């Protein structure tokens, strides 16, 4: 599918290239701004355009190409600078240069002491944050994980001398290794230089760890069920759920989803250790660790492996990952896939729950199932058959009701026969309500059968005051009367426009159902000539 899409893009680009170079002869220069458009819009690298033209002796104006490229970069920089983030980013650049990187201790501990290096409020460095104030905190070392790699940042508590108590709401990473804590002071005054005790919310961190490790298990399970083309395209690892985007061209079947979930849970139940090692990036990739395409890695990376493949004894899942993980796969508890769908062309998304959240979700689903079964006076195992029977019964009742309404409508209103003669032609003209507009054609067909020879015009009135109109002409009269012309006369009276179909059957409608009688009169006049 990717190849087909690229070929279509290539064909459009080649068409533009041919069009723009049609009048050029050997020795001419191809416009650089057009070459840039081919690159920017159609993905043509400059050398591809040059190769395509070289055989004709045409050269590309590379100076103009570079000018267009620089102009685009300048526009992008201007848009970024106008976003309101530039001033704040300047603060972090200055802090990173002055204070250096934050030492992250969170792989080994959830609590640690640190020294306040900087406080930022409203984009400006300040000396202190008082009780009730909220700002951003930088310490020399922290156990709090900064949001990155799809994993959300940690939250927790801060305490210090003098009765300082603060809540850490979130943690982010700036410039790759500067950990910034979103802090709200509850008691005391938090000052630069203060020694503080930092404690991560253990329950929240544990839930995040379970979801992150489950993401790795699901990633490998997807590869084994769907194929080696599966690659991570994005993820979210939160305390209450996980979301995993991956490359695959079509929806997963229910059987495939069950198989993926079964494989992941099999490794959860084995309760094997989750191993984390620091390795050189080249060594890690050579050992089989999966890296994210386009992700930047340092010289040394963390390699997370979990599970053992019973077939060959090799690790089941091995990935480069800087996130936090469970100690053993059994700590995940359970993996429950709750949804699967598309997010982009060739990209699918899984959402899943683990541990207590999954158990609560499954309990709630079971309670809903029990309640639905009780309401339908059956047991959960027979619920599907019961619902299918009820749906079919409802469809039959709807069909019977529609047929009854049609028979009632065709029986005349108030006993008055809606049949008259216009010249030598019989006309059945009537207004009906309580009938679906899509059923008007079948009423007209019924009317034509009753007449044998003649014209049938039926206006259907809806509850919201609109009207639909269908006109039918029997086969023997089609040479004299056109149903399309007759319906247009009626539609105009209803305040509508147009209307069309065939000479023997046409339809239209209008916004003013109060003009239904006028529409029928207009059709009668058109019939009279």
The whole-angstrom separation of Cα 337 and Cα 358 is: 9
DSSP of 357-401 = HHHHHHHHHHHHHHHHHHHTTS-GGGHHHHHHHHHHHHHHHHHHH
- What pTM, to 2 d.p., does this model score? 0.67
Domain boundaries, the chain: 2-81, 100-200, 205-362, 411-528
Which of 9, 8, 54, 2 shows the shortest CA–CA distance to 28?
Answer: 54
Confidence of residue 298 (pLDDT cuts 50, 70, 90): low
Q: Do the Cβ atoms of 272 and 329 come closer than 8 Å?
A: yes
Q: Give tens-digit pLDDT for 325-349.
A: 999 999 999 999 999 999 998 999 9
- Region class of 27: left (phi > 0), else alpha (psi between -120 and 50), else beta: left
* CATH class as words, domain 411-528: alpha beta
Contact 142, 112 (CB under 8 A): yes
Round to whole Å and give the CA distance between 483 and 485.
6
Q: How many residues does the chain have?
A: 529
- Band (pLDDT 50/70/90 cuts) for residue 83 is very low
Strand partners, 29: 59
Per-residue pLDDT at 85 exceeds 70: no
In whole numbers, what is the pLDDT of the chain averaged over residues?
A: 89
Comparison of pLDDT for 317 and 3, the residue scoring more? 317
Where do we find the tokens 């064909």?
A: 11
Binned at pLDDT 50, 70 and 90, residue 82 comes out as very low
| Domain 205-362 sits in CATH 3.40.50.300 | no
Distance CA 162, CA 116 (A): 15
Nearest-5° Cα angle at 197, 191 to 200: 120
* SS3 category, 454: coil
Tokens, residue 380: 């959960």
Q: Of the given ranges (12-16, 274-278, 380-384, 489-493), which has the lowest mean pLDDT?
A: 12-16
Reported as a single tens digit per residue, the pLDDT across 218-258 is: 999 999 999 999 999 999 999 999 999 999 999 999 999 99
In this structure, are strands 178-187 and 134-139 parallel, antiparallel, or unpaired? antiparallel
At residue 301, the pLDDT reads 84
With cut-offs at 50, 70 and 90, classify the pLDDT of residue 414: very low
What topology does CATH give the domain 100-200?
Answer: Elongation Factor Tu (Ef-tu); domain 3 (2.40.30)
Tens digit of each residue's pLDDT (9 = 90 or more) over 115-166 = 999 999 999 999 999 999 999 999 999 999 999 989 999 999 999 988 999 9
Of 301-310, 374-383, 400-409, the range with the lowest mean pLDDT is: 400-409
DSSP 252-290: PPHHHHHHHHHHHHHHHHHTPBEEEEEEEHHHHHHTT-B
Strand, helix or coil at 124? strand
**So what's the pLDDT on residue 416?**
47
Q: Which residue has the higher pLDDT, 215 or 291?
A: 215
């Amino acid at each position: 599918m990717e190849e087909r899409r690229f070929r279509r893009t290539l064909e459009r680009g080649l068409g533009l290239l041919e069009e723009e170079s049609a009048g050029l002869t050997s020795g001419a220069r191809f416009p650089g701004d057009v070459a840039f458009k081919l690159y920017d819009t159609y993905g043509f690298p400059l050398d591809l355009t040059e190769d395509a033209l070289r055989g004709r002796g045409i050269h590309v104006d590379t100076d103009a190409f570079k000018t267009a490229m620089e102009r685009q970069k300048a526009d992008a920089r201007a848009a970024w600078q106008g976003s309101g983030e530039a001033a704040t980013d300047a603060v972090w650049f200055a802090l990173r240069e002055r204070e250096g990187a934050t030492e992250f201790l969170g792989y080994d501990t959830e609590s640690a002491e640190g020294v306040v290096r900087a406080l930022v409020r409203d984009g400006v460095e300040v000396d202190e944050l008082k009780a009730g104030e909220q700002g951003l905190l930088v310490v020399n070392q922290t156990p709090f994980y900064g949001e990155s790699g799809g994993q959300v940042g940690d939250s927790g508590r801060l305490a210090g001398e003098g009765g300082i108590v603060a809540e850490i709401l979130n943690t982010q990473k700036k410039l790759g290794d500067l950990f910034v804590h979103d802090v709200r002071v509850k008691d005391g005054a938090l000052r630069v230089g203060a020694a503080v005790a930092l404690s991560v919310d253990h329950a929240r961190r544990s839930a995040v760890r379970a979801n992150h490790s489950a993401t790795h298990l699901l990633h490998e399970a997807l590869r084994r069920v769907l194929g080696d083309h599966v690659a991570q395209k994005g993820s979210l690892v939160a305390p209450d759920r996980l979301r995993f985007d991956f490359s695959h061209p079509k929806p997963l079947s229910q059987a495939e989803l069950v198989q993926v979930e079964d494989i992941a849970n099999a490794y959860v139940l084995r309760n094997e250790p989750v191993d984390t090692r620091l390795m050189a990036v080249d060594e890690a990739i050579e050992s089989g660790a999966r890296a994210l395409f386009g992700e930047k890695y340092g010289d040394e990376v963390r390699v997370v492996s979990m599970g053992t493949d019973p077939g060959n004894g090799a690790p089941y899942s091995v990935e480069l990952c800087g996130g936090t993980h469970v100690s053993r796969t059994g700590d995940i508890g359970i993996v429950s896939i709750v949804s699967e769908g598309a997010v982009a062309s060739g990209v699918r998304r899984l959402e899943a729950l683990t541990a207590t959240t999954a158990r609560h979700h499954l309990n709630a689903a079971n309670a809903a199932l029990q309640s639905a079964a009780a309401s339908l006076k059956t047991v959960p195992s027979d619920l599907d058959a019961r619902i299918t029977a009820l749906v079919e019964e409802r469809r039959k009742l709807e069909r019977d009701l529609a047929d009854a309404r049609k028979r009632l409508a065709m029986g005349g209103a108030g006993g008055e026969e809606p049949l008259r003669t216009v010249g030598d032609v019989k006309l059945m003209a009537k207004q009906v309500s309580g009938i679906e507009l899509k059923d008007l054609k079948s009423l007209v067909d019924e009317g034509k059968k009753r007449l044998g020879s003649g014209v049938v015009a039926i206006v259907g009135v809806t509850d919201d005051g609109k009207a639909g109109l269908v006109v039918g002409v029997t086969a023997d009269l089609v040479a004299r009367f056109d149903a399309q012309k007759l319906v247009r006369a009626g539609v105009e009276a209803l305040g509508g426009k147009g209307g069309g179909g065939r000479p023997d059957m046409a339809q239209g409608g209008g916004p003013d159902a109060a003009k239904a009688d006028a529409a029928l009169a207009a059709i009668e006049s058109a019939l009279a000539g």
